[in-house]
Structure 1
Amino acid sequence: MEFSVKEEDGFRYIDEGEGQVLLLLHGLMGALSNWEDVIIKFRTNYRVIIPMLPIYELPLLTTGIKSLAKFVHKFIKYKKLEQVTVLGNSLGGHVALVLATSHPEDIKAMVLAGSSGLYENSFGGSFPRRESYDFIKEKVEFTFYSPEIATKELVDEVFQTVNDRNRVIRILAMAKSAIRHNMSKDLYKITVPVCLIWGKNDKITPPEVAVEFHQLLPNSELNWIDQCGHAPMMEHPAEFNEYLEKFLNRVLLK
């Protein structure tokens, strides 16, 4: 990826462009690179910021959704950001939802793609065969509609992660925290505009999850991408960006 990662006071992040802030949050097995096409498209008109979530750095006892939301809030205050539009994929969407309920003053609008928070078919709950490269490859391919999106580089990265004992313990703790922290009773509190961009073939947070989000969020719109799995901004970046641009034009450029 062509972007420089900045490091300041315990934060690692990408900060590209100028203008209203788009704050991008990656998923549990995600990385900064997942948002590459979004950065390239929107940095000309917006300030695009991606903090690296400290999924593997938190103390085990505090590893959970709420801790990540507190971290993002702390980052927003540290960078003196106001009224951000937050975009979250998978676990990142869940963190955005918690942030929007605990610190609504920080959020102007929200975009969710394959977000957890209601129901997710997790990576497996445990990794009984984590030493098996083929097993991990199959799990990574499960994320996408088109298996070829699961490049060797991506599979290698996940394989390395799940074979690191400290990391895998935290992944499991975070996954359990996500399941425990169901947002269904809190979503009515989120009154900012929310854009749902969902893969019709998402097997991790299936289409009915998107429909439920749409029903429970008071000010939401739902956009489908066909032949698409859990990470639409990676699998169909042009279509994802088109929906995103229309939403931003409507809610930010009034």
Structure 2
Amino acid sequence: MRRQWVRHRRQPRHRARSVEGGSDQESARREPDGAPADRLDAARAGPREHRALRPRSAAGPARHLGRRALGEPLVARAAATTRGGAGGGRGCGGRGVIETQERTVTVWQDRVRIRVLSKGHGPALVFFHGPWGLTWDPFLDELARSFTVLAPEHPGTTPEAHDDIYHLDGLWDLVLCYDELLEVLGLESAVFVGHSFGGMVACEVAAAYPARARRLALLAPLGFWRDPDRIINWMMLEPGELRRHIFHDPECDAARRMFPPSDAHDATAAARVRMVWAMGTTGKFIWPIPDKGLKKRIHRVTAPTLLVWGKEDRLVPAVYADEFTRRLQSGRVQTVDAAGHAPHLEQPEKVARLVRDFLSQ
């Protein structure tokens, strides 16, 4: 796909602006004028619990939040603000249960929109998803029992903002973009959890900004390359092959959800298209070789780190866990039986327990 760089370039602005209302989101995003929004004093903005996002009513459209989101409550407890769903999807839950929320935040001089899903209560936990897109799954539900989970979609993987990826030239731009996101969310620090490419991103953010990460839990992360143990380029695999490489059991429920049959209904087919698009978008930061120099920076990570690897990982061999523990200041490894490259999807309760116990120390 040919990138139309010129078409997407605009004059930069000094800082992100809050966009009130959803019907004029695109026109507001492209508006070149306007004074920058002033930062609000978080102490005067109401509840201090994870200053970030104001809940919206069920009838109101999604809002783009810039710097003015500071000081506003992160997770809404009203059922009217939920998204429907079942089986571990977005919005699953019952009466009296904190539901999955969705907000869109603008960063990078108002040129990049990032949708953030959130749920739970407790200390802030930022989850960086893998290369196949973000889906709220049972693993995140388990973590939301003890933490306020914030799960941002990587720039460009959100369908309504797919062309925003053209404003980021490389991995370093992405790291800076996430630093801005954390600032807008009002999070000076949080615990980071990342899977695959998301684990690489979490580690890079923690290396660039050590004070941002209190603890790290990395699930089969990318970041290194060893010629004897090459990582398979999943961009070159057919869907059936990819399914067998991601999962130890390609017929498990998680695999069936990620790879529905070709005759599935339209909504499922659309989800499959989003997954393929996410692969291409995140591939910009991964390939041709998923080693962008992390080994030169990882010594800057000061947070205690847990590495979780499926014993049957066919994409990123478990031997890479040794590379991480050898270079990290404080790292430990837990391997998971009967799991491949997505241990948190195949064994959600077990992996969530490992992560929760480590992060709570």
**TM-score when normalising by structure 2:** 0.60
Q: Does 1:23 align with 2:135?
A: no
SS of structure 1 residue aligned to 2:101: coil
Displacement after TM superposition at 1:12 (Å):
0.9
Matches within 5 A, 1:105-144: 105-119=211-225, 121-126=231-236, 135-144=238-247
Distance 1:182 1:44, change over 3 A: same
Matches within 5 A, 1:93-108: 93-108=199-214
Show CA shifts across 1:197-244 (max 9, x none).
111111111110012111111101110101211111101111101211
Cα distance in structure 2, aligned partners of 1:191 and 1:137: 40
Is the contact between residue 188 and residue 218 of structure 1 (CA under 8 Å) also seen in structure 2? yes
Q: Does 1:66 align with 2:169?
A: no
Is the contact between residue 133 and residue 279 of structure 2 (CA under 8 Å) also seen in structure 1? no
- Report what 1:131 is aligned to: none
Is the contact between residue 224 and residue 294 of structure 2 (CA under 8 Å) also seen in structure 1? yes
Cα distance in structure 2, aligned partners of 1:168 and 1:109: 27
Show CA shifts across 1:167-198 (max 9, x none).
66534423227624031222222121001111
- Report what 1:160 is aligned to: 273
Displacement after TM superposition at 1:7 (Å):
2.4
- Report what 1:5 is aligned to: 102
Show CA shifts across 1:28-83 (max 9, x none).
113132xx223322323321110111144344473432232222211100010122
Displacement after TM superposition at 1:19 (Å):
2.2
SS of structure 2 residue aligned to 1:87: strand
SS of structure 2 residue aligned to 1:222: strand
- Report what 2:256 is aligned to: 151
Distance 1:246 1:64, change over 3 A: same
Runs of 5+ unmatched residues, structure 2: 1-88, 92-99, 107-112, 261-268
Is the contact between residue 63 and residue 170 of structure 1 (CA under 8 Å) also seen in structure 2? no
Is the contact between residue 65 and residue 177 of structure 1 (CA under 8 Å) also seen in structure 2? no
Cα distance in structure 1, aligned partners of 2:280 and 2:140: 31
**TM-score when normalising by structure 1:** 0.83
SS of structure 1 residue aligned to 2:174: helix
Sequence identity, in percent? 21
Alignment RMSD (CA, Å): 2.4
Greater Cα radius of gyration, structure 1 or 2: 2
Higher RCO structure, 1 or 2 (CA under 8 Å, sep 6+) = 1
- Report what 1:204 is aligned to: 315
Distance 1:28 1:169, change over 3 A: closer
Which residue of the other structure, out of 141, 145, 149, is the alignment partner of 1:44?
Answer: 145
As a proportion of its length, which structure holds more helix? 1
SS of structure 2 residue aligned to 1:145: coil
Cα distance in structure 2, aligned partners of 1:181 and 1:28: 16
Is the contact between residue 116 and residue 178 of structure 1 (CA under 8 Å) also seen in structure 2? no
